[in-house]
Amino acid sequence: MAAPKERANFQKAGALWNRFVHLRIAGALTAAILFVTPALDAGITRIQIISRGPAFGGYSFPKVGTYERIIGKGFGEISPADRHNHAIVDIGLAPRNANGKVQYSFDFYILKPTDLNKGNHKVFYEAPNRGSKLFGNFNRSTGGNDPPAASDPSGSFLAPQGYTMVWSGWDFGAGTDNSNLNLTITLPTAKNPDGSSITGPGYEYIVSPGASFALNYPAATLDQTKATLTHRVHLDDVPQVVPASGWEYANNGTAIRLLPAGTSFIANDIYEFSYIAKDPMVNGIGFAAVRDFNSFLRYALKDSAGTANPLAGDVTRIYTFAVSQPARMLNDFRNLGFNEDESGKIVFDGLLQWIAAGDGINMNYRFSQPARTERNRQDQLYVEGVFPFANRRSTDPITGTTAGRYDKCTKTKTCPLGMEVYSANEYWVKAASLFTTDPSGTMDLPDHPMARYYFISSHQHGTGNAAAKGNCQQLQNPLDSAPVLRALFVAMDEWSTKGIAPPPNAVPRLADGTLVPPMPQSKVGFPKIPGVAYTGLMSTRYLFNYGADFYSTGIMAINPPAVKPPIFNNRENGPIYPSFVPKTDADGNDIAGVRLPDVTVPLATYTGWALRSGPQANDGCEAAGQYIPFPKTKADRMNSGDPRLSIEERYPSLAAYSSAVEKAIDDMIAKRLMLPEDKPSNVNRLMRAATATGAIAGPSDVRVQP
């Protein structure tokens, strides 16, 4: 619980928090709405088909037939007076058309069965990650923004089932160039009632090399005394001010660069720039754009100009798939009530969320930056993880407010099913334990009836390259969640259409001791492996002070919040929400959760956390995890002092290893955590890995028939 002084300091914030959670509405919104005449129906007003033609080279899928590709642009408008839009910060200050509506436009991309009657009448919607499609690995296809370029469409996951696949732009951070089919959105800029620019505190966190850095918002003044640039090497170093002679504004205040000319930002060092920004985008409209386009595809026959909806009358279900950033967007989408369209109808039936866990997105705030993502040493001071952290209702011990992410949709009966799938990295860099524990840190929360939670044990944030270290001390973690995600997508469909309950939750718990504090090391159970550093580094979830009115308006008076090193567990930086990490076995692999066969029958230690090498040594290595191979032989183990059993000692023969792998995979299939068709490729992959170690006796050429 918060100390009495801390509770008193946040008494006012607590009183305003509930309004912020449910509205997040700009302070000027109420007055602005009074002058809006109730308007005609809004939403998607026009779609423009830019290109339409055969997909996948004309390949015909059995029972489904051919697919077509549709690329276009959508145009929408929303009414600030409509209660469905009240949550959008600064919507009352956005420019309006003659009908009193706020306009926006976006790119879209659709792959659909040429004959919709042969499809399954369901939509797979992926919210793009910074404009890009990331479903390739999940779909068993090649990546890139033009999926029909897949080399073998017959082996893909979605099209053979007859799914229509849809993507649309929602994030202004994706940029404005869609020449490579990067999906973008055009949003209005909020203005003062007299038409002048809105100004406020801007903040940039810079870790990228180069001679200049483009600001997310232009500077309101070029007066360098109104701005501060700092530099440091480690996150917990004291920031050093770069004198005005060491930097300057460039491109009319839309960028900064270092001096003397040609000086570059040092790669991976930390620079922070605080300044007076102007012209904030109304980024929360991105939620409405996702809502309205999917609602249009699901319910409309045509747009206002008479252009036919390409999916008219076909859609019975829409399921989302999102990776990381857009999954966090959909967390807020659900929390803010956007799964109810402007007609009161449901938009999405189910959300498959991969590596988002309990975080939201820096989007529905003034001067927000949706592309930002908090990790151990980056973007710690952008608003991302805010109460309510969980789908289940809980009480914030700091403000005393009770809320949950399903509150709004429960009231309107428009809640989607939630398949919440996340990695170990989210526990270490994003305080994911708050997703399933009371924010006081004293107990596990009850499960939510409309959501399931699946922790992929020992996984990093995405799939790493086991042959490379990058900026990290150890090789990256190569675990691949795609087989589990495919199985859970099928389970979500069966849950929605047939009422078949999905696999039970699989997460670490306080109650059974599989969720523990990150220190001491013995509490976590992580072994002392020679050459592997363990520091217990873990992100701290604070209630930062962004100004007295922030919790009622979404508008910051203080940005960034005032903090001082150390960043982690320093109560001077604000009240802390306790968080925890998964406990490991003697090999260093997580005990709880969904264990991939690589972890059940291991050849290595896999972690969701990693530490940096080089000048920034022992700072967090962000999204990366670690791949730490076991000693090959008993002699290797004895010579190095490694406490982990060697591969030779674990598996007396290749046949024994193969038998254990098949048993592990069969167990996953029985639990509906892997599809039967994914077994052969996974067995072969693991057998190749075992053979490559040279430490297991057996034939060198191992083949497994499908």
- DSSP letter for 375, please: B
**Token digits of residue 293:** 């386009």
Q: Going by C-beta distance under 8 Å and a sequence separation of 6 or more, which residues neighbour residue 394?
A: 388, 402, 403, 404, 438, 439, 445
Decide: 127 and 165 in contact? Cβ < 8 Å: no
Rounded to whole angstroms, how far apart are CA atoms 205 and 228? 12
Secondary element (H or E) of residue 199:
strand 199-206
**Token digits of residue 332:** 């807020």
Q: For the chain, which ranges sit under pLDDT 50?
A: 1-40, 700-701, 703-706
**Where would I find the beta strands (DSSP E) of 515-591?**
515-516, 541-542, 576-577, 581-582
Amino acid letter for position 452 = R
pLDDT tens digits for 493-533?
999 999 999 999 999 999 999 999 999 999 999 999 999 99
Whether the CA torsion 457, 461, 467, 471 is positive or negative: it is negative
β-strand pairing of 402-403 with 199-206? unpaired
| Alpha helices (H) in 147-255, listed in sequence order | none
- List Cα–Cα distances, 50 to 69, 116, 210, 241, 627, in angstroms: 11, 20, 36, 50, 45
Residue-level pLDDT at 697: 85
Rounded to whole angstroms, how far apart are CA atoms 647 and 665? 20
Rounded to whole angstroms, how far apart are CA atoms 130 and 184? 8
Q: pTM for the whole thing?
A: 0.93
3-state secondary structure 6-57: HHHHCHHHHHHHHHHHHCCCCCCHHHHHCCCCCCCCCEEEEEEEEEEEECHH
Rounded to whole angstroms, how far apart are CA atoms 402 and 381? 24
Secondary element (H or E) of residue 421:
strand 417-423
Residue-level pLDDT at 32: 32
pLDDT tens digits for 175-222?
777 778 999 999 999 999 999 999 999 999 999 899 999 999 999 999
Q: Going by C-beta distance under 8 Å and a sequence separation of 6 or more, which residues neighbour residue 663?
A: none
Residue-level pLDDT at 453: 98
Residue-level pLDDT at 33: 32
Residue-level pLDDT at 149: 83
130 burial (CB, 10 Å; 0-12 / 13-18 / 19+) is: middle
> Nearest 5 degrees, angle CA 339-CA 450-CA 396?
85
Residue-level pLDDT at 699: 62
